[in-house]
Amino acid sequence: MIKTKEELLDIRKSAEEELASYDCRILVCSGTGCIATGSNKIHEIFQELTAGLDGIKLEFAPHDKHEHDKVGVKKTGCQGFCELGPLVRIQKGDQVVQYVKVQPEDCREIFEQTVLGDTVIQRLLYSKGDTHYTSPDEIPFIAKQTRIVLENCGKVDAESLDEYLAAGGFRALTKAMFDMTRDEVIDEVDKSGLRGRGGGGFPCGRKWKQVARQKETERFVVCNGDEGDPGAFMDGSVMEGDPFKLIEGMMIAGYAVKAEHGYIYVRAEYPNSVTRLRGAIAQLEEKGLLGDNILGTDFNFHLHINRGAGAFVCGEGSALTASIEGNRGMPRVKPPRTVEKGLWEKPTVLNNVETYANVPKIILDGADWFRSIGTAGSPGCKTFSLTGAIENTGLIEVPMGSTLREIIFDIGGGLKDGAEFKAVQIGGPSGGCLTEKHLDEPLDFDSVKKFNAIVGSGGMVVMDKNTCMVEVARFFMSFTQRESCGKCVPCREGTKRMLDILEKIVNGNGEMEDLDKLEELATMIQSMALCGLGKSAPLPVLSTLSTFRDEYIEHIVDKKCRAKTCTALRKYVINPELCKGCSKCAKNCPVNAISGKVKEPFTIDSTKCIKCGACKDNCAFGAIYVEA
């Protein structure tokens, strides 16, 4: 049990000594991505290899001086480079070697060459062109990021309180509790200009102030970890990669607004996050850092975890608190706002994972430091998950105000297979598409709004020329329609009608007046839906309509899909020069649309063709293609 500030300092000191005593740490990435590619097995093998190793002579680069020979195998949070997993870092002294795509059969070699010896295995390094990168900090993908929220991710053991303490953990909490008044804490957060990272961008400090001002003294701190946007995994990565940092942020909020209970609402699809958070809470409770009379003061804080049950709408504040209370997760009419009547009708601070994870560093280094990063209106950094048709998919953090070009080309390495950039979908199903002409615009909460998009929680899906924007709009609409909670008519019925129209268009039955109907419905839903999710549901359609209107018109007038994605608009054709007349396609055609004489080129009757593609899949000569 840690009962006083001094005891905490002692424990941190011994944790620091313990950390310094490792001459070599094998850091195995244990984010959801790397676990999927098999990193748990890698961790296990390294543990077996290093068992009983203490005292064995390790070789170091000549200039390194070492007194101990201790090897540690650790599970870290996301190292960022998800597609190249499993990722392993070997840290010896000040030197770090980053290995990618490590397979079980590579482990012994790594152990002998790099852990015991001083040789770097070229084959397992990240390479681009002819350049091999040894240290993670040299890799452009990592070198060009600025990491605040993710500073510990990939560097410390995500499951160990000691490592978090050694990395400076809970210094912010003790500073807040012992050197600052509650008002000073709130003022510092307010001055920092930290805005809600869940997508809304509401000033965090103002929210805390409003809660602190309420007459009701029973208050709650709630964390929104219901990261439902498809294509977004930043919050999940923080929860599983640095759970203690999130908890510290929530505790500072709890201290500042005098709340005794906190709730973390985690979505059902993140079992790793739930496990890590539960583990972290158990360690903190055991040490007395969560519970009553924390560090001998009158500050009590208890933390609970609620798992989501598969409803996207629970990412909306009032739906989320309804779900914690055990009700259907449906938004309610506001005001009163969550700060006045939130969880159990009590004043509630509700922020998302990334917002809380920013707080400790702001308390520690001050509002001015935070304001020195990012833009005037949106200080600090933002995490993004970079996915889709991009070379380096993964988790990144960059200062607000970075341009799309920096994110997609400098960090992301450009498009996959050198394809041509078409658009990036930002902000998930409530967001919009940015295109070539937006590449050099600085991204922050305010600037992106001007382009009919939102920063949202930070999902970024890059699309190349093979993506049909009408189909993308249909995809998002089918998502929001399915996830509409059904409480208000504009969202429940409006999204259904919009989806009907979009399906009609991708099936080749669209009419020009459908575009006007889409816009009319979109404006109606935007202005009349009950909650933020409903209000923003039409954004993907409006945004693609304004930027890619010609593609909509092609689908409607020319019955053409230039990306060849929309099945109903495909036209299968046989190339007479390649066709050998084997008749296999005709035999496979379920509707007898193909005819011809054996040993002469066959033809497809497009009026009969149902576009199933069976002919193309079965042609041994590659003679059948889709005409754009």
Partner 1 sequence: MLDKSYYDKTDEIIEHYGRKASSLIPIMQDIQAEYRYLPGELLTYVAKEIGITETKAYSVATFYENFSFEAKGKYVIKVCDGTACHVRKSTPVLEALWKELGLSKKKHTTDDMLFTVETVSCLGACGLAPTMMVNEDVYPAMTPEKALAVIEELRGKG
Residues of this chain that bind partner 1 (CB under 8 A): 32-33, 35-37, 81-83, 85, 227-233, 236-237, 268-271, 306-307, 309-312, 323-330, 385-389, 393-395, 425, 428, 459, 461, 463, 467, 472, 475-476, 479, 483, 485
Q: Is 76 helix (H, G, I), strand (E, B) or coil?
A: strand
Angle at 42 between CA 38 and CA 46, to 5 degrees: 170
Q: Which is nearer to partner 1, 80 or 317 (CB)?
A: 80
Of the two residues 83 and 138, which places its CB atom closer to partner 1 in the complex?
83
Q: How far is the CB of 609 from partner 1 (least distance, A)?
A: 19
Of 99 and 233, CB closest to partner 1 = 233
Query: Shortest distance, CB of residue 306 to partner 1, whole angstroms?
Result: 7
Residue 366 CB, nearest approach to partner 1 (Å): 33
Closest separation in Å from C-beta 328 to partner 1: 4
Rounded-to-integer distance, Cα 440 and Cα 424, Å: 13
| Selection from 53, 157, 41, 66 nearest residue 111 by Cα | 53
β-pair type (71-76, 24-29)? parallel
495 neighbors 525 (Cβ within 8 angstroms) = yes
The CB-of-144 to partner 1 minimum distance in angstroms stands at 17
Write out the H or E segment, with its range, that includes residue 46. Answer: helix 39-50
Q: Is the distance from CB of 203 to CB of 190 less than 8 angstroms?
A: yes
Q: How far is the CB of 572 from partner 1 (least distance, A)?
A: 17
Residue with Cβ nearer partner 1 (50 or 481): 481
What is the C-alpha separation between 120 and 347, in angstroms, rounded?
A: 56
Q: Give the nearest distance from C-beta 458 to partner 1 in angstroms.
A: 12
Q: Which residues of 114-147 are buried (b: 16+ CB within 10 A; e: fewer)?
A: bbbeeebbeebbbeeeeeebbebeebbbbeebbb
Q: Which is nearer to partner 1, 360 or 459 (CB)?
A: 459
Q: CB nearer to partner 1: give 281 or 389.
A: 389
Q: Of 114 and 318, which CB lies nearer to partner 1 in the complex structure?
A: 318
Q: Do 416 and 386 contact (CB within 8 A), yes or no?
A: no
Question: Least Å distance between CB 425 and partner 1?
Answer: 6
Two structure tokens written together for 7: 């005891």
Closer to partner 1 at the Cβ: 39 or 50? Answer: 39
Q: Show Cβ contacts of residue 343 under 8 Å, excluding neighbours closer than 6 positions.
A: 220, 222, 263, 321, 324, 325
- Give the residue with the Cβ less far from partner 1, 159 or 229: 229
Which CB, 323 or 547, lies closer to partner 1?
323
DSSP string, 100-162: -S--GGGHHHHIIIIIIS----GGGBEEETTEEE-SGGGSHHHHT---STTTTTTTSBTT-HH
- Contact yes or no for 308/324 (Cβ under 8 A): no
Q: How far is the CB of 216 from partner 1 (least distance, A)?
A: 19
Q: What is the 3-state secondary structure (H, E, C) of 536-559?
A: HCCHHHHHHHHHCHHHHHHHHHHC
Q: How far apart are the first and last CA of the chain?
A: 69
Q: Kindly tell me which of 28 and 472 has the beta carbon lying closer to partner 1.
A: 472
> Nearest Cα to 219, choosing from 346, 324, 344?
346
Shorter beta-carbon distance to partner 1: residue 327 or 592: 327
Name which of 58 and 470 has its Cβ closer to partner 1: 470
| AA identity, residue 240 | E
Query: How near is the Cβ of 499 to partner 1 at its closest, in Å?
Result: 15
Q: CB of residue 464 vs partner 1: minimum separation in angstroms?
A: 9
CA atoms of 146 and 381, how far apart (whole Å): 7
Pick between residue 419 and residue 582 the one whose CB is nearest to partner 1. Answer: 419
Q: Are strands 603-604 and 594-595 parallel, antiparallel or unpaired?
A: antiparallel
Helix axes 271-287, 243-257, angle to 10 degrees: 60
Show the tokens assigned to 277: 């958070």
Q: How far is the CB of 422 from partner 1 (least distance, A)?
A: 11
**Angle, CA 545 vertex, CA 542 and CA 549 arms, to 5°:** 170
Minimum Å gap between C-beta 232 and partner 1 is 7
- Give buried/exposed letters for 204-219 (b at 16+ CB in 10 A, else e): bbebbbbbbebeeeeb
Helix (H, G, I), strand (E, B) or coil at 81: coil
Task: State the minimum distance, in angstroms, from the CB of residue 271 to partner 1.
Answer: 5
Closest by CA to 246, choosing from 77, 7, 396, 26, is 77
